[in-house]
């Protein structure tokens, strides 16, 4: 599993971390400034790469098979910040 995580992009690792915290696609999208559809597509690719079938299985696999050092520190710190902070619009206006 550790090697599989290394095959994920930074964005995919952020998504995995947020999903493991129980966030919905909408919540992940808001925090990472992605559309829910982009999050859904990314999760499809992540599940394929990690050989899991659902976000529940993904979270369980991470909880039981991954040591804290397996997720690279920058992605882990960014995911925690994304979970803790309010979403920012970074100059984008909401419609």
Residue 70 sits in a domain whose CATH number is 1.10.10.10
Q: What are phi and psi of 18, to 5 degrees?
A: -70, -40
> Residue 44 falls within a domain, yes or no?
yes
Q: Which residues contact 85 (CB under 8 A, 6 or more apart)?
A: 31
How many structural domains comprise the chain? Answer: 1
Q: Which residues contact 60 (CB under 8 A, 6 or more apart)?
A: none
Q: Which residues contact 4 (CB under 8 A, 6 or more apart)?
A: 49, 50, 51
pTM assigned to the model:
0.65
pLDDT per residue, tens digit, the chain (95 aa), is 566 777 899 999 999 989 988 899 999 999 999 999 999 999 999 999 999 999 888 888 887 765 555 444 444 454 454 455 444 444 444 44
Buried b (16+ CB within 10 A) or exposed e, 68-91: eebbeeebbebbeebbeeeeeeee
> Residue 93 falls within a domain, yes or no?
no
Q: Which of 69, 80, 87 is nearest to 16 (CA)?
A: 80
> Residue 88 falls within a domain, yes or no?
no
> Residue 89 falls within a domain, yes or no?
no
Q: Which residues form the domain of 25? A: 2-83
């Amino acid at each position: 599993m550790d090697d599989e995580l290394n095959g994920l992009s930074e964005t995919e690792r952020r998504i995995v971390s947020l999903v493991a915290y129980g966030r919905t696609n909408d919540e992940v999208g808001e925090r990472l400034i992605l559309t829910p559809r982009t999050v859904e597509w990314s999760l499809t690719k992540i599940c394929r790469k990690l050989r899991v079938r659902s976000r529940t299985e993904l979270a369980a696999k991470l909880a039981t098979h991954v040591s804290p050092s397996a997720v690279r520190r920058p992605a882990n710190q960014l995911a925690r910040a994304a979970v803790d902070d309010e979403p920012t619009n970074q100059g984008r206006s909401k419609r």
